[in-house]
Structure 1
Amino acid sequence: METAAELANAGIQTPAYVLFDQLTRDQLKGADLAQLAAGVLAALRVETFFSMDECSSIMTALQSCEMGSYDEQVVRPRIAKLGPAVYDFYLEGALSDAYWEHAAESTETRRRLLDGRDPLQRAWDLIGAAWGSAVRPATVGQKPLFAGMIREINNGARMHFDEVVRELPGTFDETPVCQLAFNCHLEMPAQGGEAVVFRRRWNPEDEQHRDGYGYSRSLVENSPRVSVRAETGDAVLFDPRNYHRVEPNAAAGRRATLSFFLGVMADGTLTAWS
């Protein structure tokens, strides 16, 4: 399906309301986050959210860190990562003890990557300044969850969705009213690595089209979509409750991101987790 810009170029009149489009800014604005949370925007790209020097420092420091991965029997192709995903440690309505151990170790490693400082705190400071209140970690049993995973997705990620209230029901101490995904691109290949977001959310019958963590592309073949190409330093935000995927790299280079979820709470504050 065409975007509003494509329809306008073709001389087709569109309604006054905003269609499923992406927006590019040179700095993060709270009003744009609000539009994204409300579903008016498909995706928000913030240029040079981190400077090239900051990205280079993080990637250089990362060379001495041991990266793990998602369960390779479920997540294919392999996605390397630093830090735990809360969903991977969720069992019978609770988080395993191994989650908290992994979270503490990963936090200690990540908080030194930006010239001895924490790139997560840098991102939270910028988001909090735009939103008007500080970002705080989501909690389970009053314990702060890990946020700020660093992921390397070079061979693409299959189409899926992320929705904490559906996947981890009743687990968080506070339930977000909206969930956003944040990805700051620490390194990008010259081509490929786009994030593709579809205007379609999960339906129960979709489980018939599931294979591991991914879903058949046939589910979204008639859905509006945007393809967001980021450069090194750019941040991309979208609603991960919409189906989305990552295209494989089409040129040499790595696709590495600082990634976490943002929860918009009933009182208007922001929480974060990975």
Structure 2
Amino acid sequence: MSGTELRDVSTNASPIFTLFDAETVDELTRDHILRLAVGVLGAVRIRGFSSEEECADIMEGLDHREFGAYDENLIFPPIAKIGPAAYDFYGAHTLTDEYWKIADEALRLRGKLHHGSDPMDLAVERVGRAWGDEVVPARSRGRDMFAGMIREIPNGAKLHFDEIVREFPGILDETPASFLTLNWYLSMPEQGGETRVYRRRWRPVDEPFRDGYGYDEKVVEDEPVAVVRPRTGDAVIFDSRNLHAVNEIGGEGRRVSLSFFLGVTGRGPLQVWS
């Protein structure tokens, strides 16, 4: 780490919910991941998780690929993506044959994006080095789940949370003790696109404020918040159970990330899925 703990940019900053800034990926440690998991940190930004040249190479490959999207009846404004999300199959209560088919297609496409190799391999190696143990796919009914969805979010994302054991119970063969999200930014616009992470979990009393897949921002009024605006090549890790949102982009450029969840288990390895 840079040695400087950055207070959040809100007027109600909390000394135990802050943004930590790593100058290089080598400064990310197991302790930082654990501090996120227990709620002491709001987010960790890893500067230079990859080089701009690596990102440019991946983006060039994406220029020739067609993005799919979440179901706009569920997710609006639309978010383009490559690869399946477990969220896509909550209504089916299981990962269907379609999930595995989309996963196979996404793995074939992604496998050629970085000089003929898969950029997810880079992400897993760098996280595993910090964790000091294996990073392995989460499993569902004995099968490795897909991890490493590529997403483009031009119009922002509503305030929401992600917690697979609450929203999709029983889908993971091993229940993680904690959940984190890692977003590696392959491209960022000139302005906007910030991620806001609140020190606030979902509560049943929030349901009257539901707005489609997300919630009215009234539920986080006066809550401590960590705000981070990464640059191309940076990565950001935070606890996905906390309510979080993405600001709309401004100016030139695209907001494209490779994203996956990290499950901290009672054993050594980290689990990953999307």
Give TM-score scaled by structure 1 length: 0.93
- The answer to whether the 8 A contact 1:89-1:98 is kept is no
Distance in 2, matches of 1:4 and 1:138, equals 32
CA contact (8 A) 1:138 1:144 kept: yes
**Worse-superposed segment, 18-27 or 125-134:** 18-27
1:254 aligns with 2:251: no
Q: Distance in 1 between matches of 2:6 and 2:137?
A: 36
SS in 2 for 1:94: coil
Moved over 4 A (4+): 3-7
Does the 8 Å contact 2:191/2:251 carry over to 1? yes
Given that residues 6 and 19 in structure 2 are in contact (C-alpha distance below 8 angstroms), is that contact kept between their aligned partners in structure 1? no
2:94 matched to which residue of 1?
94
Structure 1 position 158 matched with structure 2 position 155: no
Taking the aligned partners of 1:242 and 1:36, their CA distance within structure 2 comes to 11
List per-residue Cα deviations over 1:62-111 (Å, max 9, x = no partner).
01111000111221111110001012123453111111111111111111
CA distance in 2 between counterparts of 1:243 and 1:56 reads 31
**1:98 is paired with a residue of what secondary structure?**
helix
Structure 2: 5+ residue stretches without partners? none
Alignment of 1:24 with 2:21, yes or no, is: yes
Aligned partner letter, 2:93? G
Q: Matches of 1:35 and 1:225 in 2, distance apart?
A: 16
Letter in 2 for 1:20: F
- Does structure 2 retain, via aligned residues, the 8 Å contact 1:90–1:96? no
- Which deviates more from structure 2 when the two are superposed, residues 58-67 or residues 89-98? 89-98
Q: Provide the rounded CA distance (Å) in 1 between the counterparts of 2:91 and 2:241.
A: 21
Specify the alignment match of 1:245 in structure 2.
Answer: 245
Contact kept, 8 Å, 2:7 with 2:15, in 1: the verdict is no
Alignment: residue pair count: 265
Summarize the alignment of residues 1-274 of structure 1 with structure 2, pairs less than 5 Å apart.
5=7, 18-26=15-23, 27=25, 28-274=28-274
Higher mean displacement: 84-93 or 231-240? 84-93
In 2, Cα distance between equivalents of 1:183 and 1:49 = 10
Is the 2:17–2:226 contact (alpha carbons within 8 Å) kept by the matching residues of 1? yes
Measured in 1, the distance between the counterparts of 2:63 and 2:145 equals 25
Return the offset for 1:6: 7.7
TM-score, normalization by structure 2: 0.93
Q: Is the 8 A contact 1:4 1:19 kept in 2?
A: no
- Unaligned stretches of 5+ in structure 1? none
